Amino acid sequence: MTEPMNAPDGSIPLRMAWRNREIASQPVNQFVVSLGLPSASGRSECIHLTFGQADPPLISGSHEEMAQQLRDLGTLPVETLGRYVLTRERLGELIALLQQSAATFDGQAWGGTEDDGISG
């Protein structure tokens, strides 16, 4: 649930209804975080998050042969899976949710029973 900041008295809670929930989850192992271009004030107003997936190259042979195959490869392609823009305030909310999720995950991994239904 979220409370809009611009509501007349700030006390109108809204429930979120997620759409397109059937989208398949995709593994992500590459991340780019960059600041948006500065506005006229000289400050960035947003943070750009880019998520991607890089598969390890298929190499084989002796140690020397594999090293040469990696040198010949030159670059490893990364498939961009999503690009997102957040305000600094929303970034703080995301960081808090990720930290809470990590703590819940760690608690379960060590035999804890914390709820895993975290959302923002």
pTM above 0.95, yes or no: no
DSSP-assigned letters across all residues of 66-104: HHHHHHHH-----EEEEEEEE-HHHHHHHHHHHHHHHHH
Q: Token digits for 17?
A: 């209804």
Q: Is residue 77 part of a domain?
A: yes
In a domain? residue 9: no
Domain assignment present for residue 21? The answer is no
pLDDT for residue 97 = 96
Distance CA 62, CA 58 (A): 13
Please check whether residue 75 lies inside any domain of the structure.
Answer: yes
CB 79 within 8 A of CB 54: yes
- Domain assignment present for residue 58? The answer is yes
Report if residue 101 sits inside a domain. yes
Q: Is residue 117 part of a domain?
A: no
pLDDT digits (tens, 9 = 90+) for 31-90: 999 999 999 999 999 999 999 999 999 999 999 999 999 999 988 999 999 999 999 999
Q: Domain residues for 52?
A: 30-109
How many structural domains is the chain composed of? 1
The DSSP letter of residue 110 is T
